With several copies, the nearest count.
Chain A
């Protein structure tokens, strides 16, 4: 990787600190939990000002013209901060949208709606788009309640549907992290066609989710290390107990394997590489956040202590855009050959 590219990544990471400082408290996140829409439009506009919503949009169209590596760096920091705003979803589809300017400016929030069954990365095809009307049901739309419009994948191409259009119903189910999944039911809802394919954006989001998981497990592990260094039992810091030391070493190893595979996928984002990264990130993030609870003992099981928030977020992220098992199978199908 060239020095310039490294500088761009460092700039992105630094800019993320404005919204998700690594040492920051999680008061804002707690305040938004289990409420509607579950995130903050003022923060969204701030993200827009930082150029994040146009990150992947060409410079000629008002974006930053950056790539998946930069989105991953950003997603990792937002994951570490448990940021509820659905930035990777919006940023990944922004390049597809005809009215990108308002989206890039943060004035208009458009989220993708593509899924019709659990645990898949393939857009559902039961939704139809004909005569300017869309009918069908889309599930598992994270933070759907905050969207102004949805980019809906149909068997007949992409369709842009306004949230408040006739024939549009949105049902919400709360998620463990305090956000929600929306189920979007469309009955002859008016829509405008959008050229292009959503699949590449779904790959990008998948990769960004792996990076999000990396960020959150990294911080949960850092919290655990702090606790191991300071919490005392039996007259000594619990981090001096060898059994916990060795467990921490194993967790560090999983963390760094995840970091390496996410970085490799961000640098060369093939579907196989993305599946590798998502498979590792899903399993490792659940492992690290579970163990973060265990290493904290009883206090880790309280809602008021932050470490549980990371577990809840991992539970939501792990299977989004495909479980570890799905991505392992996809990797094997995409890259069947092995060599020494």
Chain B
């Protein structure tokens, strides 16, 4: 079925179609990976999506996307999540494509969009810096014009899967005199540029998902600027519209809750009344989270914009995910300390899931920042 035909389906028929697609094509070995996969592992799925025209549900059909409504995009993601599909190296599709489609020059669109769809250009995101984490606008990596080039110096960090990428989209400071949000620009930089060094950071999962990226007099043509100079902050914020709901998706918690139940059965606690009480509380938190998530999804379906109150979803989902894994740790006995899954069964790895849940309250805007946003923008409390 082509994209236009898919878009013409009603939501339920479309959902079944997505489900059929993913069940037919998704590589079984990649279901529910315990860690974020590298390009070498997940490119098979990326290429399958591309081949069937499913790679870019949100892009207009004119650019090779599916041109789906927000409602249908949500369904795609929900069904992929339900099936346990791995995230691909999707920054090109999710971030760079929409950025270029909205703000890029014709030349940039013609050059980059096909390369994203073909898997030739694999992107990573250069936002965070060592001293600009939650306070992103205080970033200091700078780009100075020298002839036809920008010359970039500085350091990015928490760059997801930078070792896989051949392009990076960067926020850089281009006007040091301006107020902090106002001197920031967007640049597109090849990762093989002289002067770029990538250093993987081993995280608590002992996984090299993140990297530091160092820029030492890295030159890129001025043509690699996206949109206007010093307007990068506005563009970056505009990109965060639709995506914010996904940080609040119930998927992680739902996944963890099933594993909590498995673990309880394995530990002989499934019928223990104290465990059952705790489990039911967690389960009700999840059910009610789904109900709240659904109210936001319904807004998207009606074509309404999401407000700052979507922060609630992120806070609740991340902390619920953590609480579920804490329950796992507490009932696991000595297994709570194991480095590897219990009994070689990947579904029984309380320590692994517990550690995996730790950063959920930190990334994507820490929960402290999310609570500041709720207090200020939603509850209209005075600035601190």
Alpha-carbon distance A316/B334, docked complex (angstroms): 7
Task: Collect the chain A residues with CB atoms within 8 Å of residue B384's CB.
Answer: 240-242, 245
Query: In terms of DSSP, what is the predominant structure of the interface of chain A?
Result: helix
Q: Name the residue of chain B whose CB is nearest to the CB of A333.
A: B280
Q: Is there an interface contact between A315 and B329, defined as CB atoms closer than 8 Å?
A: yes
What number of A residues sit within 8 Å (CB to CB) of B? 73
Q: Which of B57-100 contact A (CB under 8 A)?
A: 82, 84
Alpha-carbon distance A139/B334, docked complex (angstroms): 10
Q: Which of B329-384 contact A (CB under 8 A)?
A: 329-340, 351, 354-355, 358-359, 361-363, 366, 368, 370-372, 374-376, 378-384
Task: Collect the chain B residues with CB atoms within 8 Å of residue A241's CB.
Answer: 368, 384
Q: Which of A226-269 contact B (CB under 8 A)?
A: 228-229, 232-237, 239-246, 248-250, 252-253, 256-258, 260-261, 263-264
Q: Is there an interface contact between A246 and B375, defined as CB atoms closer than 8 Å?
A: yes
Q: Is there an interface contact between B204 and A303, defined as CB atoms closer than 8 Å?
A: yes
A176, A229, A252: the one contacting B337 at CB < 8 Å is: A176
The stretch of B12-20, B220-228, B238-246, B282-290 that contacts the partner chain: B282-290
Q: Is there an interface contact between A228 and B354, defined as CB atoms closer than 8 Å?
A: no
Does A155 make an interface contact (CB < 8 A)?
no
Q: Is there an interface contact between A319 and B337, defined as CB atoms closer than 8 Å?
A: yes
Does B186 make an interface contact (CB < 8 A)?
no
Map CB proximity to B onto A290-333 as digits: 1 under 8 Å, 0 otherwise. Answer: 10011001101111100010011001111110011100110110
Does B133 make an interface contact (CB < 8 A)?
yes
Given the known inter-chain contacts A253-B316, A298-B158, please indicate yes or no for A181 contacting B334, CB distance below 8 A: yes
Q: Is there an interface contact between B203 and A303, defined as CB atoms closer than 8 Å?
A: yes
Q: Is there an interface contact between B381 and A229, defined as CB atoms closer than 8 Å?
A: yes
B261, B330, B335: the one contacting A118 at CB < 8 Å is: B335
Q: Name the residue of chain B whose CB is nearest to the CB of A236.
A: B382
Q: Is there an interface contact between A177 and B135, defined as CB atoms closer than 8 Å?
A: no
Q: Name the residue of chain B whose CB is nearest to the CB of A280.
A: B288
Q: Is there an interface contact between A242 and B372, defined as CB atoms closer than 8 Å?
A: yes
Task: Collect the chain B residues with CB atoms within 8 Å of residue A194's CB.
Answer: none
Map CB proximity to A onto B273-308 as digits: 1 under 8 Å, 0 otherwise. Answer: 010110111011001110110110000000000000
Task: Collect the chain A residues with CB atoms within 8 Å of residue B113's CB.
Answer: none
Task: Collect the chain B residues with CB atoms within 8 Å of residue A293's CB.
Answer: 204, 358, 362
Task: Collect the chain B residues with CB atoms within 8 Å of residue A276's CB.
Answer: 284, 287-288
Task: Collect the chain A residues with CB atoms within 8 Å of residue B351's CB.
Answer: 176, 315
Alpha-carbon distance A248/B384, docked complex (angstroms): 14
Q: Name the residue of chain B whose CB is nearest to the CB of A242.
A: B384
A290, A300, A302, A328: the one contacting B202 at CB < 8 Å is: A302
Q: Is there an interface contact between B336 and A318, defined as CB atoms closer than 8 Å?
A: yes
Q: Shortest beta-carbon distance, B347 to chain A, in Å?
A: 11
B82, B158, B294, B333: the one contacting A319 at CB < 8 Å is: B333
Task: Collect the chain B residues with CB atoms within 8 Å of residue A175's CB.
Answer: 337-339
Alpha-carbon distance A244/B294, docked complex (angstroms): 28
Please provide the 9 A-B residue pairs with the shortest distance between their CB atoms, ordered closest to farther: A118-B333, A119-B333, A316-B337, A245-B375, A260-B291, A249-B374, A174-B339, A260-B292, A239-B381
- Chosen A-B contacts, 17 in total, with CB atoms closer than 8 Å, are A173-B339, A229-B381, A233-B133, A240-B381, A242-B372, A256-B292, A293-B204, A293-B358, A293-B362, A294-B362, A297-B134, A301-B203, A302-B202, A315-B354, A316-B336, A319-B334, A324-B330
